[in-house]
Amino acid sequence: MSAVEDLERHFRESVAGPRSADTAIPLRDAGGLDTGTALDLFDAQSESRHTDAAARWMQQQGRGYYTIGSSGHEGNAALALALRATDPALLHYRSGAFYCARARQAGGVDAVRDMLLGVAAGAEEPIAGGRHKVFGRHELAVVPQTSTIASHLPRAVGVAWSIARAKRLGTECAWPDDAVVCCTFGDASVNHSTAAGAINSACHAAYQGLPMPILFVCEDNGLGISVPTPHDWVRQAYGSRPSLTYFAADGCDPQAAFATAREAVTHVRKNRQPAFLHLSMVRFLGHAGSDAEAAYRTPSEIAADLERDPLLATARLLTAAGILSPQQVLDRYDEVSGRVFAVAKEALESEPLTTVAQITAPIAPRRPDLVAATARRTTEPPTAPVGEPVTFAQAITNTLADLLGSHPEMVVFGEDVGRKGGVYGLTRGLQRRFGTARVFDTLLDEQSVLGLALGAGLSGLLPVPEIQYLAYLHNAADQLRGEAATLQFFSQGQYRNPLVVRIAGYGYQRGFGGHFHNDNALGALRDIPGLVIASPSRPDDAAAMLRTCVATAKVDGTVSAFLEPIALYHTRDLHEEGDNAWLAAYPPPAAHVPIGRARTYGTGTDLTLVTFGNGLPISLRAARRLDREGIAGRVVDLRWLAPLPLDDLLREARATGRVLVVDETRRTGGVSEGVVTALVDAGFTGAIRRVTSVDSFVPLGKAAQLVLVSEADVERAATEMLSAGPSTRSDG
């Protein structure tokens, strides 16, 4: 690994030493670089280089927690200077020089202080508040990204799509009308399915003539941690894609990098079409502080990289153009060093986060009164007559129409949701009524669907995407886990992506199914901090809860997963054919269900059945038969699986002293684990038991009934509980 000292020594010796005849171009011919821009470029690069050194020094002092540096990638400062300070930037983790250059463009921001407070996990750090070292500032239009490889690309595509769409809808956008979205990543990242899907999504949109002003920037240092990228692979993979204009330059040459970046930015800004900028880079100091480059690179390879130092190239440009002498370059470089290390010493003394409340405050802000007021606000008469009996599916369709009428910034999209109206017809007619700009089809890629939603929410729209089946969501779970749910956490609420993703799921379908259409696994959702999981069963709850989810997205920036039981979409009967007991009156516009509130059926004092989803009709039918056998129970529909309705749950549990959890998800990782734990943690001392589906994927046909929880399972468990002895009922 090239040490900080080696890098420093080589730079100094090369600047001060004799110059051989070279090809330095006078500044007047240097690709549009004027004197001020060239000096800004050098200063931004120097700040980034010294910040990397300071981060490692801070680690040695015991107060530095992040050593993935930007050394060798300082050419991205030229990219920043080719853009405007108002162009949204979603950057990867070697973007120190870009961030420093963007701060210089905008003014009023000390980029070094921002970065080193992040290294120290200082609570005063302005974007993440010490929660993670990220590049981000609301004033700089830099959206914070974590280290997950390529996961930010789908969101970047969504941001680019949203600029023109917001203007078309007449709704306010977070970005200027002519903005260019800049999205940077490494050469190894282009191989990730997320990157490939996002770039394909942008090309797919542009191919159809949709505005897509995004600049994909691959900073190619030839290494994926330790694995070399095959020579010329990036150009071969992305140099001739439909609807994607390809630009390439040596990112270590400030003249070439600036000129080509400016050309690429101008192309995207003028044509509103995507482009791919391929910048050749080098990487100094290894992948991170613990990376021993000598284990996989030869000394000659490392030495060759030193000769391509982009900071040195800018220094030589300044001296060749007569702007600075070699000594003035070193003096300027040392002045930046002194300032950076002074900030580093201050950062060592910064206050870290000290309480759980501090840490978690941005995750899930809740303003229930404002949410309630927003949920009740409508601008059009209800689509369906209030009080008219509707099925679950009809309730969703009607509510989507009501919400589209009430929120002009709301968009509904997904696979087949447009003209067809979705697999089950729930969006049928919405495109005809509200237009293709607001209700439309996407390509068949769940990562792109959710990325579009994340970018739309970030930009000022109110996205309600649909995922066809719960099993398909797992293809894109990181878009919820790593991107959606973390944005407010890593930006202290300065950025947010309001989102309600409708997901058709659960089991019990008849005549059609198998695992991928009868998925009952919620484990990937239940442990995401701040994610609201809504799981209505009845038509009236479906309408009211969807209103709540949209309102809390709009008010608090909440991300919600709205789970819809496919088997209940068109169900009309509960106990016997023709009873229409599963229909419900379409609720008035003012009706909504607060997050974390359950619904109880019955007042029996022998047993409390706790359930959700398809478990509700199963439990209601079982409870009716148990009542005939002398067991008087009550059924609690959780409705919200995160956060769980603990107060209601505990009250209904204590009313009988016996709790039977009826859980259609799996025994391991299922919802019942959380319910039982919540009861125990709250001090419930009564009897608890659960019946669940089997730890199995759902097979095709009638065999599915062998692994899914059944009414017989519920009745048998209830009878056994009652025969086991008295309850610990409490009326207090």
Catalytic sites, residue numbers: 517
Run of H or E including 275: strand 275-280
If we measure between CA atoms, which residue out of 433, 581, 411, 421 comes closest to residue 499? Answer: 411
CA distances from 242 to 81, 181, 203 (A): 28, 19, 7
Query: Looking at the DSSP assignment, which residues form a beta bridge with residue 278?
Result: 218, 248
Residue 449 DSSP label: H
CA atoms within 13 A on the CB side of 12: 10
60: helix, coil or strand? helix
CA–CA dist 85, 103 (Å, integer): 8
Strand boundaries in 93-198, DSSP class E: 142-143, 181-186
H helix or E strand, kind and range, residue 250: strand 245-250
Interatomic CA distance for residues 554 and 548, integer angstroms = 10
Q: Which of 587, 580, 541 is nearest to 564 (CA)?
A: 541
**CA–CA separation, 5 vs 129, rounded Å?**
31
User: Is-contact 519 563, C-beta < 8 A?
Assistant: no
Report the alpha-carbon distance of residue 653 to residue 646 in Å, rounded. Answer: 10
Query: Which residue has 């010796």 as its token pair?
Result: 13
CA distance 681 to 698: 32
Sign of the Cα torsion 37, 39, 40, 41 reads positive
- Cα distances (angstroms) measured from residue 672 to each of 277, 599, 679, 687, 721: 50, 17, 11, 14, 17
